[in-house]
Amino acid sequence: MNFTKKNFTLDHIRQELVRLEDSIIFALIERSQFQKNDIIYKCGGINIKEFDGSFLEYFLHELECAHAKVRRYTSPDETPFTTNLPDSVLPPIQFPKLLVPNNVNINDQLMKIYINEIVPKITDEGDDGNHGSAATKDCHVLQLLSRRIHFGKFVAEAKFNDPLLQPKYIELIRNKDKCGINDLLTNLAVEEKLLRRLRRKAAIFGAEIDGDGIPTLKEEDNKIPLDVVCDMYEKYVIPLTKVVEVEYLLERLKYYPSFVPEF
Ligand SMILES: O=C(O)C(=O)C[C@]1(C(=O)O)C=C[C@@H](O)C=C1
């Protein structure tokens, strides 16, 4: 995250969301090379000494412990899935204060959707024994999706600071009108453009290039089904981003008018 006063605009924040699409598509392609390996998602499916949970939860916690030690979760654009994380061994950084203090974290919801709705659609049923590899790829997808979805906080802050819309947001927040806030922050034209772009990207990134350098653009040969990527965004990624935006905005008023983003 590298925001300055000049680039903390809705356009710039949206550019980061666009960039994340590339990483998410590639990460999904990576996960899809392994079978579902259901056992890694089942509590106690793989026996781990002194750990009560699934192998994926175990691995994610270990990974987050290592990342916490190098300051990952002190950054306002990073949200952990697990708790009881160690302190950083690096000295604290003073990040620009762009968001109001908040505990918005919907990673539990994301985790359930990922395991129950996304994994079954991007993998073949079965167990190929690649449990560590599958969990490694899962963690990568989950961390990217979490970052994308929680970026909604920055989107919401930028929207709240729009002088034309601010009075309307304030009124809706005062009334705790979640549906009204959701309607006001929704921009269907942006969503439609996103879905069209995503489909095209998934087709290009998932194409095979033959020996003559010619891409095979037949949809059925694509490394990741295009509908799956678009459906995932339409049904889960965009709606969850909006949930984060609404939850953040509900917190926002406590700090109005004292808080202004600081760089
Ligand atoms: O770009 C925005 O305005 C956002 O709020 C982000 C986002 C998205 O998740 O991509 C969510 C809601 C809007 O309807 C459009 C797009």
Nearest to residue 233, comparing CAs of 69, 118, 133?
A: 118
Q: Is residue 17 part of a domain?
A: yes
Q: 33: CA distance to ligand 1 center in Å?
A: 30
**Ligand 1 close to Cβ of residue 177 (< 6 A):** no
Torsion of CA 188, 189, 194, 196, to 10 degrees: 110
Domain with residue 75: its CATH number is 1.10.590.10
Would you name the residues annotated as active-site residues? 14, 148, 159, 187, 191, 241, 245
**Radius of gyration, CA atoms only, the chain:** 20
pLDDT, tens digit, 9 for 90 and up, residues 7-61: 789 999 999 999 999 999 999 999 999 999 999 999 999 999 999 999 999 999 9
Residues in the chain: 263
Q: 67: CA distance to ligand 1 center in Å?
A: 28
Nearest CA to ligand 1 atom 1: 14
Evaluated on CA atoms 132, 151, 19, 217, the torsion sign reads positive
Q: Is residue 260 part of a domain?
A: no
Q: Is residue 263 part of a domain?
A: no
- Residue in the block written with tokens 């919801």: 109
- How many independent structural domains does the chain possess? 1
Q: Which residues pair with 251 in a beta bridge?
A: none
Q: Is residue 1 part of a domain?
A: no
Measured N-to-C along each axis, helices 152-160 and 178-185 cross at an angle, to the nearest 10 degrees, of 90
**Could you tell me the residue range of the domain that residue 105 belongs to?**
10-255
Positions in the chain short of pLDDT 50: none
